[in-house]
Amino acid sequence: MQIMKFQKYYNIIFYILLMGFTAFLLLDTYVIPREYGDDKGSEHGMELASFGEEGTSGLSPAPNDTPDLTPEAVPDEAATSTPSPTSTLAPTLTPSSTPSPSPSPSPTFTPTPTFTPTPTSVPYPTVAAPMSYADENIEITINTYREYDSYIYVADVRVSSLEYLKTAFAKGKYGKNVTQKTSTMAANNNAILAINGDYYGSQERGYVLRNGMLYREKSAGNHEDLVIWADGSFSVIDEDSVSAAALADSDAYQLFCFGPALVLNGQVNVESDAEVAKATKSGNPRTCIGIVEPGHYLFIVSDGRTDESHGLSLYELACFASDLGAEVCYNLDGGGSSTMYFNGEVINKPVAYGHTIVERNVSDIIYIGY
């Protein structure tokens, strides 16, 4: 009898401990913030491109100075994977036997004194008056479109130097589950324009490289990332094909690990039924970033999950970006994260926690500013 009574108490204690451990794992994975370091991304050690009237300053890495990317050893199960196609806008890279991600002091920038944007034809009618900002270095025009039963916001961005395209972490800290609203991060960094990034903090793997600084080298395996190079060009790489350190050593300025690549070489790069792993349906709020040419970029956000805005599939988003002239376009974190901020205001209608119109906290932003 005493043995049965002891067994009963033992089982109760065991289940309490098991439930406590499970709760801790869930909290540690999704809730408990862990700060691993300050956001020192501005202290990159590369020379960023300035863009003249012809779109590029010609600061592509010289063949004798830029190392090649040496592929990392690939695990057996991934040995047959095919690397992602690379945009024609990518710089030529040459291998480095000993890549070093350590940054050197920030250079002194000399922006182009005059800025003459090239007009871009828009194939879709707008449904609202454009919003704009312009000074000698930055020009932003935001148009609102109504396509695929959804509202889509497109920021056409032209900068005289890549130094004005930046990223920031929530609370200025690199870490896990460290989050803030896109608008809060944007205001804290004096951003003119901002969109949410790739929500790196919800993952344990996947390269994190921002403003020329390498923060995380753990590979996500056969995963395609977007690289913004110091010359202002975009390319898509596969993490199985190159190490994070080699990318940092080869003048990678920004890197985002979400995907997929929507447009490559001006052509739609996803199938009609493509979807990100965690999406429950094809029509969702979306965020993506694209390039027309170095110095000319597209920030795109769509609303979704409401009666007035259904949301886009990845294929619809890719077709839309391609029609706007994107040579490369890359999908970022969407759903409740999708937010566009401009001149002190959130201009889209973010939907989080079901169908509530409210901003969601995220790990990081991409922004235009000083």
Over the stretch 332-354, which tens digit does the pLDDT of each residue have?
A: 999 999 999 999 999 999 998 87
Mean of the pLDDT values across residues 312-325? 97
C-alpha 311/C-alpha 305 separation (Å) is 6
Average pLDDT over residues 198-225: 96
Question: Over 50: is that where the pLDDT of 82 sits?
Answer: no
How is 287-334 classified by DSSP, letter by letter?
A: EEEEEEETTEEEEEEE--SSSS---B-HHHHHHHHHHTT-SEEEE---
The pair of three-digit structure tokens given for residue 288, joined into one six-digit string: 């993506």
Residue with tokens 């291998």: 95
At 123 the pLDDT is 79
The pair of three-digit structure tokens given for residue 368, joined into one six-digit string = 């235009």
Identify which of 5-19, 23-37, 319-333 has the greatest average pLDDT. 319-333
| Neighbouring residues of 284: CB distance < 8 A, sequence distance ≥ 6 | 304, 305, 311, 312, 313, 334, 335
Quote the pLDDT of residue 97: 38
What's the whole-model pTM score? 0.76
Of 75-84, 156-165, 209-218, 271-280, where does mean pLDDT reach its minimum?
Answer: 75-84
Distance of alpha carbon 240 from alpha carbon 335, whole angstroms = 27
Strands 252-256 and 224-229: antiparallel
Tell me, what's the pLDDT at 185?
Answer: 98
**Each residue's pLDDT tens digit, 121-130:** 567 999 999 9
| Phi and psi torsions of 168, nearest 5° | -150, 150
The highest-confidence range among 14-28, 69-83, 269-283, by mean pLDDT, is 269-283
111 pLDDT more than 80: no
The residues with which 323 forms a beta bridge, in sequence order, are: none
Q: Is the pLDDT of residue 259 over 60?
A: yes
Q: Mean pLDDT over residues 142-150, rounded?
A: 98
- DSSP string for residues in 107-130: PPP---S---PPP---SS-BSS--
- Separation in Å, CA 79 to CA 74, 239, 241, 270: 6, 12, 10, 23
The predicted pLDDT at position 23 comes to 54
DSSP state of 343: T
What is the pLDDT at residue 222?
Answer: 93
pLDDT at residue 226, rounded to an integer = 98
Q: 290, 300 in Cβ contact below 8 A?
A: yes
SS3 of the chain: helix, strand, coil, percent, to 5: 20, 30, 50
Neighbour order of strands in the sheet with 150-159: 131-134, 138-147, 150-159, 296-302, 286-293, 328-331, 261-264, 267-268
Give the distance from CA 342 to its chain's centroid: 18
What is the distance between the alpha carbons of residues 186 and 370, in angstroms, rounded to a whole number? 12
Instruction: Give the separation between CA 335 and CA 339, rounded to whole angstroms.
Output: 9
Measuring CA to CA, which residue among 96, 38, 130 is closest to residue 251? 96
Lowest mean pLDDT among 6-10, 49-53, 263-267, 272-276: 6-10
More confident residue, 27 or 185: 185
Q: What is the three-class DSSP state of 15? A: helix
Q: Provide the pLDDT for residue 282.
A: 73
User: Rounded mean pLDDT of 216-234?
Assistant: 97
Confidence of residue 34 (pLDDT cuts 50, 70, 90): low
Has residue 196 got a pLDDT over 60? yes
pLDDT for res 38: 65
pLDDT at 59: 32
Flag whether pLDDT at 84 surpasses 50. Answer: no
Cβ atoms of residues 329 and 184 within 8 Å: no
